[in-house]
């Protein structure tokens, strides 16, 4: 039998509109950019991967840097190599290219999609076995006003689409942010809860001051209140035993996870396949959490159905995913570059069961959103 090799790799940039502008702590966005990666094997099978970041403010990578790193540095390492030795290829990338985890995760995604299609099994079977066949999803409230957010939450709960929420903060002064979050939490507490995510924009004293009020308002978790490097500050907040502290930007790689676990700096890790450098690394992060008594939450970089499918394959195999997920990306985008989007209904996202990632590209949509 002739040996199968990696024959061709292409990375394209797509810009897909979103349903309404989204306010992060640092920036407001009205469309989302993606790297669409295709890895073609010598047997004709094409694996797809999707790279996207919340924004360059998040970890320093952007779709443009990902495309450059892949075209210039990853492709020469992978061409003519044996795709079955995926782990060896990933280690080779790690030795030769420092950082750039979002780019590496995109490559891993396309390789595993190709292998899954070749072996005729879903990616979750390449990663291990499933713990669940669907996982809970929370929606991010971002209407712009507390009243609007409370109204939006009630509509979702009534329609049954989503019943738990997250709110972004960090645009206003920390003090005003805290008060706004408490108002929203109190407005919806009869039927659901929220977690707060200031994306590292608060300081230690503000966070400490409001922890008791957050607890009283029934807030589910406080995600990454402090800058990514302030692990000691997170440890102090966690030691207060008020609202559970979730680490996101601070808990990117497996090394970060170990450092946080040793410092007792988080009650929950937000997982993200891109920041960890791929699905396999994400499962390793969850393993460190499991051994340390830390819960996991399935985070998002706001992927389309391609990247979201990759997230679900990984997250659904994790036993300590106690806080569900925020995999609402496909619902937040105004369009999706696949023929059939992943299924999100009644507050859950379902694990795709077709070979590979389980989603099929819609080439017409890809051409429509291709960056010129």
| Positions that interact with Mn ion (CB under 5 A) | 197, 248
Least Å distance, CB 302 to Mn ion, is 11
First to last CA, the chain: 41
Structural tokens at position 328: 């609402």
Contact 28, 12 (CB under 8 A): no
Measured from the CB atom, the residue of 152 and 248 that comes closer to Mn ion is 248
Contact 123, 356 (CB under 8 A): yes
DSSP 159: H
Q: How far apart are CA 286 and CA 228, in angstroms?
A: 19
Q: How far apart are CA 124 and CA 111, in angstroms?
A: 13
Measured from the CB atom, the residue of 86 and 169 that comes closer to Mn ion is 169
Q: How far apart are CA 356 and CA 122, in angstroms?
A: 5
Measured from the CB atom, the residue of 113 and 248 that comes closer to Mn ion is 248
Least Å distance, CB 198 to Mn ion, is 9
Respond yes or no: is residue 249 known to be catalytic. no
Q: How far apart are CA 310 and CA 296, in angstroms?
A: 17
Respond yes or no: is residue 168 known to be catalytic. yes
Measured from the CB atom, the residue of 169 and 317 that comes closer to Mn ion is 169
Which residue lies nearest Mn ion, judged by its C-beta?
248
Q: At 88, which helix (H) or strand (E)?
A: helix 86-96
Least Å distance, CB 286 to Mn ion, is 17
Q: Identify the CA nearest to 9 among candidates 76, 104, 88, 98.
A: 76
Q: How far apart are CA 265 and CA 366, in angstroms?
A: 42
Residue among 38, 168, 171, 275 flagged as catalytic: 168
Residue among 50, 61, 249, 326 flagged as catalytic: 326
Positions marked catalytic: 168, 326
């Amino acid at each position: 039998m002739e040996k199968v090799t990696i024959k061709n790799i292409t990375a394209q940039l797509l810009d897909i509109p979103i349903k309404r502008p989204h306010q992060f702590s640092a920036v407001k966005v009205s469309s989302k950019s993606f790297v669409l990666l295709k890895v073609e094997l010598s047997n004709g099978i094409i694996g797809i991967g999707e790279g996207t970041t919340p924004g360059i403010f998040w970890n320093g990578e952007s779709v443009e840097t990902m495309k450059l790193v892949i075209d210039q540095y990853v492709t020469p390492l992978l061409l003519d190599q044996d795709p079955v030795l995926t782990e060896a290829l990933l280690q080779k990338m790690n030795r030769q290219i420092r950082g750039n985890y979002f780019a590496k995760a995109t490559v891993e995604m396309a390789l595993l999609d190709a292998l899954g299609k070749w072996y005729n099994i879903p990616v979750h079977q390449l990663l291990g076995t499933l713990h669940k066949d669907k996982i809970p999803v929370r929606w991010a409230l971002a209407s712009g006003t507390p009243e609007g957010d409370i109204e939006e939450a009630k509509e979702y709960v009534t329609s049954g689409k989503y019943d738990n929420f997250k709110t972004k903060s960090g645009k206003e002064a920390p003090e005003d942010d805290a008060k706004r979050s408490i108002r929203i939490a109190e407005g919806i507490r009869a039927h659901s809860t929220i977690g707060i995510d200031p994306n590292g924009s608060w300081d230690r004293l503000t966070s400490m001051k409001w922890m008791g009020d957050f607890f009283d308002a029934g807030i589910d978790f406080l995600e990454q209140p402090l800058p990514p490097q302030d692990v000691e500050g997170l440890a102090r907040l966690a030691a207060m035993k008020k609202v559970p502290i979730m680490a996101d930007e601070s808990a990117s790689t497996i090394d970060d996870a170990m450092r946080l676990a040793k410092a007792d700096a988080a009650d929950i890790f937000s997982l993200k396949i891109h920041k960890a450098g791929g699905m396999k690394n994400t499962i390793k992060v969850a393993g460190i959490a499991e051994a340390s008594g830390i819960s996991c939450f399935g985070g998002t970089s706001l992927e389309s159905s391609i990247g979201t499918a990759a997230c679900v394959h990984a997250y659904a195999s994790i036993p300590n995913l106690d806080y569900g997920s925020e995999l609402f990306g496909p619902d937040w985008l105004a369009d999706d570059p696949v023929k059939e989007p992943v299924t999100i209904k009644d507050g859950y996202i379902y694990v795709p069961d077709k070979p590979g990632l389980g989603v099929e590209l819609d080439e017409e949509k890809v051409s429509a959103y291709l960056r010129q």
